[in-house]
Amino acid sequence: MAFQLPPLTYGNDALEPHIDAMTMQIHHDKHHAAYVTNLNKALEGNDAAGWSIEEICKNISKFQVAVRNNGGGHYNHSLYWSVMKPGGGGSPKGALLDAITANLGSFEKFYDAFSAAGTTRFGSGWAWLIVNADKKLAVTSTPNQDNPLMDVVEVKGTPILGMDVWEHAYYLKYQNRRPDYISAFWNVINWDEVALRFNAAMK
């Protein structure tokens, strides 16, 4: 069963003005689609048939680099589309906010740490909010299409929020101004989805 490109659950222009329609269209229909195509190609004849993308990431050291790059690309982008929504932003509530406060100091400190993780990631990569093995929240970042599920990364955990800081995520609207894209990203975060992922990871 080949992996498939999940459709966006909102229009390409739904995150305007924070993320522009052309960026969303190319990012989803071209970049993410290519990760899926190349992941399926890389897995042809492999005995990982039937594995979920999460299982593949957790065992990524067993695979060739094309699976690491494209499987990471597929997992990461699927998460990214889901943790954004039109009219998003604001701040989390309930148990997730309590955990952010307990583990990361405050929402403001988390905001600064997550933004800095994206700003200071050299080259292409991702910023993450994860639940680690001790069921604590942590902020981390990974290069390229690596993610915290992978058995090869330094800081491991279950991602509940991911921000793409590859230039293809922002260059058409923000050019070299990655910090402006990161500021805008906070206005589209789907905190309901992040809370669902938090609750699942805490079980």
Q: Which is nearer to Mn ion, 146 or 164 (CB)?
A: 164
Q: Which is nearer to Mn ion, 166 or 198 (CB)?
A: 166
Per DSSP, the three-state class of 140 is strand
What is the DSSP annotation of 63-96?
S-HHHHHHHHHHHHHHHHHHTB-TT--S---HHH
Instruction: Using the CB atoms, write b or e for 97-123: b if 16+ within 10 Å.
Output: bebbeebbeeeeebeebbbebbeebee
**How far apart, in whole angstroms, are the C-alpha atoms of residue 69 and residue 101?**
34
For the bound state, the minimum distance from the C-beta of residue 105 to Mn ion, rounded and expressed in Å, comes to 29
Q: Which is nearer to Mn ion, 164 or 193 (CB)?
A: 164
For the bound state, the minimum distance from the C-beta of residue 60 to Mn ion, rounded and expressed in Å, comes to 18
**How far apart, in whole angstroms, are the C-alpha atoms of residue 155 and residue 9?**
30
Q: Which is nearer to Mn ion, 81 or 166 (CB)?
A: 166
* Cα dihedral 161, 165, 166, 169 sign: positive
Q: Which is nearer to Mn ion, 104 or 173 (CB)?
A: 173
Write the binding mask 134 to 173 for Mn ion: x where contact by CB under 5 A, - elsewhere: ------------------------------x-x-------
For the bound state, the minimum distance from the C-beta of residue 80 to Mn ion, rounded and expressed in Å, comes to 7
For the bound state, the minimum distance from the C-beta of residue 199 to Mn ion, rounded and expressed in Å, comes to 26
Residue 181 binding Mn ion, by CB under 5 A: no
User: Total binding residues for Mn ion by CB under 5 A?
Assistant: 2
Q: What does the binding site for Mn ion look like in residue numbers (CB under 5 A)? A: 164, 166
